[in-house]
């Protein structure tokens, strides 16, 4: 099942889109804004990798997403 989105309105959770869940289905809701578990060194490495990727994209060194996904599926 894909994720469901809701907002709080007058103290109640209101779904933002329809769902085909059966009537009476009970869901366990978890707030997903806890951030991540990266330490400072890991965060710096992540930002450096993102910057290298952006530089490569700006320079035209890119691959179609379909090719990347095909490679990932082949390795899995």
* 5-58 pLDDT tens trace: 788 899 998 887 888 889 998 888 877 766 788 999 999 999 999 999 999 999
pLDDT at 68: 93
* Distance, CA of 39 to CA of 18 (rounded, Å): 38
* Distance, CA of 64 to CA of 15 (rounded, Å): 35
Average pLDDT over residues 2-6: 75
* Distance, CA of 14 to CA of 30 (rounded, Å): 15
pLDDT at 57: 94
- Measured in whole angstroms, the distance separating CA 51 from the mean position of its chain's CA atoms is 19
- Measured in whole angstroms, the distance separating CA 46 from the mean position of its chain's CA atoms is 16
């Amino acid at each position: 099942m894909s994720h469901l989105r809701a907002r709080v309105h007058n103290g109640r959770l209101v779904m933002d889109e329809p769902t085909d869940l059966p009537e009476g289905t009970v869901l366990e809701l978890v707030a997903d804004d806890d951030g991540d578990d990266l330490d400072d060194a890991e965060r710096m490495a992540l930002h450096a990798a993102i910057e290298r990727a952006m530089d490569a994209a700006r320079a035209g060194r890119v691959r179609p997403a379909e090719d990347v996904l095909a490679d990932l599926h082949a390795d899995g």
